[in-house]
Amino acid sequence: MKNQNLLHHIATAIGFVGLLTWLYTARALGVLDWGVSLVPEEHAGAGVMLAIMISMAPALFLWKLWTRWVERKLDIKGKYYEDDFYKEDLKNNKK
């Protein structure tokens, strides 16, 4: 069990490095500059934030897939917050 925790932490760190790499790659490709070019100069900060959100959306989806795959491979059990959140919606839709 202790070894699994260490492996899980290492896998999480690898995934986090992947997120940072994705962000810096987007920055190097000029995605943040593109976001700034879409808005007036006085709203440049909002343009950067919008570009970060748009560029990181696929990376965060991959993060979710990565963490769930690692937890399945390491046989880590637990609950996800969204499982409880959507449980009521699923019950209501089946009625």
Amino acid identity for residue 76 in this structure: I
Half-sphere exposure in the Cβ direction for 92 (13 Å, CA): 5
Instruction: Give the global pTM.
Output: 0.71
Question: Bigger pLDDT: 27 or 1?
Answer: 27
What the block records as the tokens of 84 is 């409880």
Q: How far apart are CA 11 and CA 81, in angstroms?
A: 20
Residue 5 CA to residue 77 CA, distance in Å, equals: 12
Tokens of 54: 């748009």
Instruction: Report the chain's mean pLDDT, rounded to a whole number.
Output: 87
Tens digit of pLDDT for each residue in 34-64?
A: 999 999 999 999 999 999 999 999 999 999 9
> For residue 75, what pLDDT is reported?
86
